Amino acid sequence: MKRMTECDLEGKAAVVTGASSGIGRAIAIALGAAGVGVTLCARRRDRLESVAEAIRAKGGSAHVETADFFQVNEIDAAVRGAADHWGGRLDILVNSAGIARQASLIDGDTQDWREMFQVNVLALSVACREALKYFPESGGHIINLSSLAGHRVPGRGGFYSATKFAVRALTVGLRQELRLAGNLTRVGSVSPGFVDTEMLDEYFSKGGADRQGSISYPILQPEEIAAIVLQQLSLPATAEITDVLVRPTGQLI
């Protein structure tokens, strides 16, 4: 059997949303180390510049575009700015931006629901649509960050879970539309369990709980998710991983 050859990522151009912290930050740094030109996209410019400096310090190339993911026009502009910076093209989009809130379906705040849908679903869809305009004819690669909550529903997390089920549906739906159009852009997702991020701390604290008291086992690190994303992106063009579920070893469901 002929052995598959990994795809060389060096020289490709990528956009990573949510790159100012957590999983997005780790993915951006890993891509930079692999020789990818990375556009970092999030709201907080100071944090993005810090990540860009970390990439450049290791010999990588980084570019910053700020965007408020509640504003569609800012997402459009950020993707366009990224493509302009890398010579009018993009090869990779990693949608890592997201928010998580314990907003009950019985008595939750409508604003929390609206904001989770806006960032986790609508902003992701807009970023995909815009990035596709700059992908090569041979096809690019999109990775959407979903969650184990997109495969099962946690207590008091029903609406957040609904947004992540939607990410799965959008990932599958986009791939099908592209194939029907003769476009070989690969579209996949990663669905992690608990990851050590600011977002996880905020999720528990705003729900009135302490993370340390709620989770009794070691959880995933952002760098572990970044390694999985790089593995997806490094497959030869004839293969794609469409969804990866990754749990901390001690997590039950």
Closest CA to 76 of 145, 135, 133: 133
DSSP-assigned states of every residue in 58-99: TT-EEEEEE--TT-HHHHHHHHHHHHHHTTS---EEEE----
d(CA 185, CA 134): 11
Which residues, listed in sequence order, are joined to residue 143 by a DSSP beta bridge?
Answer: 94, 188
Active-site residue (options: 134, 160, 203, 217):
160
Pairing of strands 61-66, 141-145: unpaired
Q: Is 203 a catalytic residue?
A: no
d(CA 48, CA 41): 7
Residues catalogued as catalytic: 160
